[in-house]
Amino acid sequence: MVDLGPDIRQRRRDLGLRQCDLADLAGTSERFIRAIEHGKASVRLDKVAAVLDALGLELRALARSS
């Protein structure tokens, strides 16, 4: 599994958002934003999708090369 935390944190900062701002935009809690940014392994995918959407990001699944 890929750790999205650093990418989410960087995008949030690039947009000049605080964690509480992003939480409001995504309809989640600030605690959830902190958990994602710190690499919590078990998070709800629907909430992650809302955070990515609020940041203008998308998650893609690609076939692994062997």
**Domain membership flag for residue 20:** yes
Domain of residue 33 covers 5-54
**Domain membership flag for residue 62:** no
Taking the CB of residue 37, how many other CB atoms lie within 10 A of it? 20
Contact 4, 43 (CB under 8 A): no
pLDDT of 1 reads 45
**Domain membership flag for residue 15:** yes
Q: Can you give the pLDDT of all 66 residues of the chain as single tens digits?
A: 468 899 999 999 999 999 999 999 999 999 999 999 998 888 888 999 999 999 999 988 888 887
Domain with residue 29: its CATH number is 1.10.260.40
Put simply, whether the predicted model's pTM sits higher than 0.85 gets the answer no
Burial of 21 (0-12, 13-18, 19+ CB in 10 A): middle
pLDDT of 50 reads 94
CA–CA dist 66, 5 (Å, integer):
26
Number of domains in the chain: 1
